[in-house]
């Protein structure tokens, strides 16, 4: 069973829309959950991380964890063309275990 | 802002040859990592390194791989006898264990390794 799963997309939305990106995970023992952003031909960069359940907000980004359903989400408000990238969820296991990433396209 | 740098950006090597990928982690970081990303697939953990020894490795990191910190600034990944399936993007990362309960890993922009 895969540790972390993501829909690879692509997900295309108009500028200004609210974006919802999602992952599921397999092991209920996981406590920390991370979101990385990867631009084309670049390394992943950490956007934010959350601990256990609940929400965490950072500017236009909100990370949410639902441990009962093993579901993690990243919401982007007022999406911009510069948000176009691949978004990776990750858990700190074996270094980091990444999902496959969702390719997001924000249309101007 | 300090960053992780990797060289070369693209390495082309004949199958069976040895290759060394180089990384300069962020200077005050103490944990170092290598990951790989085969085209179209997920980023996969290879190995972590702390205090001059491997702290954790994945199943991918078999005997053909080795890592070294030859001096105070560089961190290298050596692949002894390359195979076609080693073709991938290789990312180096580093982290500061004192930066909190989950030390963010900072990634370089990768070395694209092409095995012919």
Reported as a single tens digit per residue, the pLDDT across B3-37 is 999 999 999 999 999 999 999 999 989 999 999 99
Write down the pLDDT at residue B101.
Answer: 65
Mean pLDDT by 10 residues, chain A (108 residues): 83 96 90 93 91 88 92 96 96 88 96
Tell me the pLDDT band of B103, cut-offs 50, 70 and 90: confident
**CA distance, residue B108 to nearest chain A CA (Å):** 5
pLDDT for A94 equals 72
Identify the DSSP state of B116. Answer: -
Give the tokens for residue A55. Answer: 């929400």
Chain-centroid distance of CA B55 in Å reads: 14
**Cβ(B33)–Cβ(B92) under 8 Å?**
yes
Q: Is A18 on the interface with B (CB under 8 A)?
A: no
- Beta strand A71-76 with A61-66 is antiparallel
Q: A10 at the B interface (CB within 8 A)? A: no
């Amino acid at each position: 069973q895969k540790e972390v799963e993501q829909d690879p997309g692509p997900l295309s939305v108009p500028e200004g829309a609210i974006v919802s990106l999602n992952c599921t995970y397999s092991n209920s023992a996981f406590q920390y959950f991370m979101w990385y952003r990867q631009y084309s031909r670049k390394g992943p960069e950490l956007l934010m991380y959350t601990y256990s359940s609940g929400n965490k907000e950072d500017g236009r980004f909100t990370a949410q964890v639902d441990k009962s359903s093993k579901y993690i989400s990243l919401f982007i408000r007022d999406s911009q063309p510069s948000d176009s990238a691949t978004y990776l969820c990750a858990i700190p296991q074996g270094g980091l275990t990444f999902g496959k990433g969702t390719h997001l396209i924000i249309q101007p | 802002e300090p960053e992780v740098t990797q060289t070369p950006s693209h390495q082309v090597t004949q199958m069976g040859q040895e290759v060394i990928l180089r990384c300069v982690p962020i200077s005050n970081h103490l944990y170092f990592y290598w990951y790989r990303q085969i085209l179209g697939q997920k980023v996969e953990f290879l190995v972590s390194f702390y205090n001059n020894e491997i702290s954790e490795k994945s199943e991918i990191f078999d005997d053909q791989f080795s890592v070294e910190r030859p001096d105070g600034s560089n961190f290298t990944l050596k692949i002894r006898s390359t195979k076609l399936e080693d073709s991938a993007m290789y990312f180096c990362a580093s982290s500061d264990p004192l930066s909190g309960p989950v030390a963010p890993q900072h990634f370089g922009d990768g070395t694209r390794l092409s095995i012919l």
